[in-house]
Each structure stands twice: as structure tokens, then as C-alpha cells.
């Protein structure tokens, strides 16, 4: 069965970096794109972009700061979200989601990134 | 960016009620609209895609309709498990966007 398993919660200080992982299983990794979606505490969903798991090419939502970088390691069927120079407003739950026909139908469990001094 | 506006941020209803949530897009998105259900502390769960196609395993009491800029999610007979937050989502053009969410709670 399709599974996306994300890394655990992180507590970071402002200015630090974090790397969130999303490990896929149960399907051919390179056949489906993976999206990143975030949800600030008590807020709605925000699509951040996606990564082509065949080419490694990322597509970022307009306005997403360059501090956010998507990457992947096909050898372990894993995509990554790295956020540098963390700010308090980056505090959110970050989800990866696999798309079928452009809509995310399988989601990871979410990773809370909390930024606080 | 395409803005999606859901008709209510909160909706109160009772078990057995028929409930409709509306989502309006700031420009036409053809039929590229999905609906998600999210429960507290959980990832969103896809209910409907391409306006009206039910995702596998989703109960038939959920249905979707609309086109262009106006869309609806209908729950024909509300069940206790349906109290959650619902989001519409356009995937017609980048950046993909979500509605602000509608929390469905018990009257």
C-alpha cells in the first residue's frame, strides 16, 4: 500500500536550518510527483510547490522564499524540504503529498517545525 | 493567484442533516477542483476531485458539483464521523490554492 512517512517534529531557534524528510513506499517512486503543503497553527492549507521525482526538478509557489528548497534521493525513495534561516513565522506543520492527476491523494502524517528562541 | 472563498468559516449542523458547502473561485478553474476533509491533528483526506469524482473508499453521501467559478460539496445525511474541517482546492493553475476552510460542528 502507498505510504508516505515523514520525519519527526523539530524545535529550532531562529536562524537555524531544518531538513524534513518524506519517505515513499508501496509504489514506483519516480512515477508520481510529490508536493509540499504547510499549515500554520490554527490556519488553513498552503501549497508550497512540488518536485518531479523523475528529474528532480522542483517547482516553487510564487512568493515562497528562496530559503525553502526541495530535493530528493531516489536511492531511498525520499524527498526533502530544507528551510534555512528559520523565522518564527515558519512555524507550521509541513506535509508531503503524492499527486495522481495533479491532485494530492496520499499524504504524509505531517511534520511540525516549531521555531522559537 | 486564484482566490477560493468558502461560503462559511463555520457551519453548525445535526446528525442526519443535509449540508452544502460552497466554494467560489476568483476566476474560472474549469472543473479542476477538489475537496478535502481534515480532522484535528491529521493530514487532509481527499474526498472529491475534478469537481464531482468521488475518491475510492469515500462514502457515497459525499458529492460535488459545479463548474467555472462556483462549486459545492454536499453531504446528504450527516454522520458523526463527518464533523471536521473541509477545504476546497484548485489545481487548475499555479500556484495551486486552497479555500480558507469550513469547520463543521455539532449544533
What is the predicted pLDDT for the residue at A102? 85
Say yes or no for a CB contact (<8 Å) between A61 and B95. Answer: yes
Distances (CA, A) of A109 to A52, A71, B80, B100: 21, 19, 23, 21
Q: What residues have CB less than 8 Å from A89, skipping those under 6 apart?
A: A40, A115
The 3-state DSSP class for residue A14 equals coil
Percent of chain A residues topping a pLDDT of 90: 93
Say yes or no for a CB contact (<8 Å) between B46 and A61. Answer: no
**B13: which 3 cell numbers?**
449542523
**For residues B94 and B107, what is the distance between their CA atoms, to the nearest angstrom?**
37
Residue from the list B42, B43, B98 with its beta carbon closest to the beta carbon of A44: B98
The parts of chain A modelled with pLDDT lower than 70 are none
pLDDT at position B49 over 90:
yes
Q: What is the mean pLDDT of chain B?
A: 97
φ, ψ at A37 (rounded to 5°)? -135, 140
Residue from the list B43, B49, B91 with its beta carbon closest to the beta carbon of A108: B43
Distances (CA, A) of A57 to A2, A51, A69, A78: 22, 6, 11, 14
Amino acid at each position: 500500500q502507498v505510504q508516505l512517512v515523514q520525519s519527526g517534529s523539530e524545535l529550532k531557534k531562529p536562524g537555524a536550518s531544518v531538513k524534513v524528510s518524506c519517505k515513499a513506499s508501496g509504489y514506483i517512486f519516480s512515477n508520481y510527483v510529490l508536493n509540499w503543503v504547510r499549515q500554520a497553527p490554527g490556519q488553513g492549507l498552503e501549497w508550497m510547490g512540488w518536485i518531479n521525482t523523475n528529474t528532480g526538478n522542483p517547482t516553487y509557489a510564487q512568493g515562497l522564499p528562496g530559503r525553502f528548497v526541495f530535493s530528493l534521493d531516489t536511492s531511498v525513495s525520499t524527498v526533502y524540504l530544507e528551510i534555512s534561516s528559520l523565522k518564527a513565522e515558519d512555524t507550521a506543520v509541513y506535509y508531503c503529498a503524492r499527486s495522481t492527476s495533479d491532485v494530492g491523494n496520499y499524504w504524509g502524517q505531517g511534520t511540525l517545525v516549531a521555531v522559537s528562541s | 493567484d486564484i482566490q477560493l472563498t468558502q461560503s462559511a468559516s463555520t457551519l453548525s449542523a445535526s446528525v442526519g442533516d443535509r449540508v452544502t458547502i460552497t466554494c467560489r473561485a476568483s476566476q474560472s478553474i474549469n472543473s479542476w477542483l477538489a475537496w478535502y476533509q481534515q480532522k484535528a491533528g491529521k493530514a487532509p483526506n481527499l474526498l472529491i476531485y475534478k469537481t464531482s469524482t468521488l475518491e475510492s473508499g469515500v462514502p457515497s453521501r459525499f458529492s460535488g458539483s459545479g463548474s467555472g467559478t462556483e462549486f459545492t460539496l454536499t453531504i446528504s445525511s450527516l454522520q458523526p464521523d463527518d464533523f471536521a474541517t473541509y477545504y476546497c482546492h484548485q489545481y487548475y493553475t499555479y500556484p495551486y490554492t486552497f479555500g480558507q476552510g469550513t469547520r463543521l460542528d455539532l449544533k
